[in-house]
């Protein structure tokens, strides 16, 4: 068993913890922008292959309370780096800092990097190579207020970078958030799902891959753990576990529609759907949501979407547009629930006032510099 911390979108920690329990059978503790747990090494590898809500998975090499850069160095020296790096491998240290400190993130990275070189040389007589661009092994030094986490990156590039993203919408939703929205909406694979502002079809694709049990990390490949000595013997077992979760028999029963008014967006959506091997599983329709009743013959059970806003659409009156769209959706889908993400909560709530829709729950999420709300809405 190893101690693990994994990063996720801030505000979705409980969803990440729930998914980890489903995949591994082990409970995780929710923290700020991350979750913590104790796992067998094979389950660490399995998370990288199968998890949809996590960004990166780290094996915790050291942890402690810090008040100065000297404390960071002291804790970092407690690690036996021979367990994680071979003499022929290169390494790098990335650092992140949150809170008020007398030192910077680059100073943390430099200090820990010096410690890794020094401690490895003491143990082996060899000097490790540094490669900041494409290291074989990457350590992550995180300081949040007084807490210091030093982790071994088992993922590499973030898991939100999905294998099917061959076309990128300029305002694309993170796939990890799209997946979380499916869980917040409590969408079941027996229910008809509509995304009327589909863009590159992220939400429909996440729904289909979830229903089919497709392991996104395994499909993407190029994971850091494939280069790590500590996980080398666990990969085959984890790969077999990930593949055993696939449910290809569900393809025929899925009812998922991706709709957008933009021909360019639908062309991109079709490319992403093809890259996901879901052509024929997800139906695409070019339609202005205000007139979608002309195209939808069967009312969906769930509407899950990431609508655009005035700046992106060139709308002079976005509130009026969304009021018209919401009224049409209410008429077309009288029993459906609506789950949407927005950075303009006031505009949405104002538009809702003259419609049958009412906000049931609100959840705030933060990613990068953006703060958004996921609204669960019913009639």
Cβ-Cβ contacts under 8 Å for 219 (sequence gap 6 or more): 163, 164
CATH number of the domain bearing residue 114: 3.30.2130.30
Residues 96 and 199 in one domain: no
What confidence tens digit (pLDDT) does each residue in 63-76 have?
999 999 999 999 99
For residues 130 and 57, state if they share a domain: yes
In-domain check, residue 225: no
7 in a domain, yes or no? yes
Instruction: Say yes or no: 283 and 147 in one domain.
Output: no
Same domain, 282 and 337: yes
- CATH assignment at residue 202: 3.40.50.150
Instruction: Verify that 322 and 279 share a domain, yes or no.
Output: yes
| Confidence check: pLDDT of 310 > 80 | no
Parallel/antiparallel/unpaired status of strands 256-260 and 282-286: parallel
DSSP string, 166-196: SS--TTPPPHHHHHHHHHHTT--TTS-EEET
Q: Is residue 316 part of a domain?
A: yes
Phi, psi angles (nearest 5°) of residue 297: -90, -25
- pLDDT for 199 equals 94
The Cα 298–Cα 285 span in angstroms is 14
Residue 266 has pLDDT above 70, yes or no: yes
pLDDT in tens, 291-303: 999 998 899 999 9
Q: How many CA atoms lie within 13 A of 162 on its CB side?
A: 32
Burial of 10 (0-12, 13-18, 19+ CB in 10 A): middle
Do residue 130 and residue 184 come from a single domain? no
More confident site: 165 or 309: 165
Co-location of 130 and 23 in the same domain: yes
Number of domains into which the chain is organized? 2
| DSSP letter assigned to residue 252 | G
> Is the same domain home to 78 and 9?
yes
Is the pLDDT at 369 greater than 90? The verdict is no
Q: What is the pLDDT of residues 108-160, one digit of tens each?
A: 999 999 999 999 999 999 999 999 999 999 999 999 999 999 999 999 999 99
How many DSSP H helices and E strands does the chain contain? 12, 15
Q: How far is CA 68 from CA 62, 102, 117, 119, 311, in A?
A: 16, 7, 21, 20, 45
Query: What percent of the chain has pLDDT above 70?
Result: 98
pLDDT (0 to 100) of residue 238? 97
Q: What is the mean pLDDT of residues 272-276?
A: 97
Same domain assignment for residues 346 and 269? yes
Q: Do 129 and 184 fall within a single domain?
A: no
Quick one: 14 and 100 in the same domain?
yes
Closest listed residue to residue 341, CA positions, set 312, 318, 370, 319: 370
pLDDT at 312 (0 to 100): 52
Q: How confident is the model at residue 315 (pLDDT cuts 50, 70, 90)?
A: low
Contact 58, 153 (CB under 8 A): yes
- 133: tokens are 């661009």
Q: Where in the sequence is the domain holding 253, given as residue range(s)? A: 175-214+246-378
pLDDT at position 311 is: 52
228 found inside a domain? no
- In which band, very low, low, confident or very high, does the pLDDT at 320 lie, cut at 50, 70 and 90? confident
Query: Are 35 and 106 within one domain?
Result: yes
Whether 65 and 14 have beta carbons less than 8 Å apart is answered as no
């Amino acid at each position: 068993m190893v101690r693990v911390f994994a990063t996720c979108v801030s505000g979705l920690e409980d969803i990440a913890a729930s998914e980890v329990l489903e995949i591994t059978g082990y409970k995780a503790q929710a923290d700020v922008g991350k979750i913590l747990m104790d796992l067998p090494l094979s389950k660490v590898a399995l998370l990288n292959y199968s998890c949809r809500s996590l960004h990166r998975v780290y094996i915790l090499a050291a942890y402690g309370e810090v008040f100065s850069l000297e404390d960071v160095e002291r804790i970092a020296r407690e690690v036996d780096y021979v367990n994680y790096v071979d003499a022929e491998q290169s390494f790098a240290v990335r650092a992140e800092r949150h809170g008020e400190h007398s030192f910077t993130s680059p100073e943390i990275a430099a200090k820990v990097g010096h410690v890794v070189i020094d401690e490895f040389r003491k143990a082996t007589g060899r000097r490790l190579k540094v490669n900041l661009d494409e290291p074989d092994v990457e350590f992550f030094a995180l300081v949040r207020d007084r807490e210091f986490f030093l982790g071994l990156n088992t993922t590499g590039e973030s898991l939100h970078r999905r294998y099917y993203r061959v076309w990128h919408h300029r305002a694309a939703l993170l796939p990890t958030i799209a997946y979380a929205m499916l869980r917040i909406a409590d969408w079941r694979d027996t229910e008809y799902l509509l995304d009327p502002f589909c863009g590159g079809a992220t939400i429909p694709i996440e729904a289909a891959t979830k229903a089919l049990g497709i392991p996104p990390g395994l499909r993407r490949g190029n994971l850091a753990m494939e280069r790590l000595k500590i996980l080398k013997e666990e990969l085959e077992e984890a790969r077999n576990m990930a593949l055993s979760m696939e449910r290809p028999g569900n393809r025929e029963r899925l009812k998922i529609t991706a709709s957008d008014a933009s021909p360019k967006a639908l062309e991109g959506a079709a490319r992403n759907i093809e890259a996901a091997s879901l052509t024929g599983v997800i139906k695409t329709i070019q339609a202005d949501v205000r007139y979608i009743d002309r195209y939808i013959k069967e009312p969906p059970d769930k509407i899950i979407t990431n609508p655009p806003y005035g700046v992106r659409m060139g709308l002079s009156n976005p509130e009026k547009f969304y009021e018209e769209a919401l009224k049409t959706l209410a008429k077309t889908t009288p029993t459906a629930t609506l789950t949407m993400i927005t950075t303009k909560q006031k505009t949405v709530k104002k538009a809702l006032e003259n419609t049958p829709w009412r906000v049931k729950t609100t959840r705030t999420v933060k990613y990068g510099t953006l703060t958004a709300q996921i609204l669960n809405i019913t009639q």
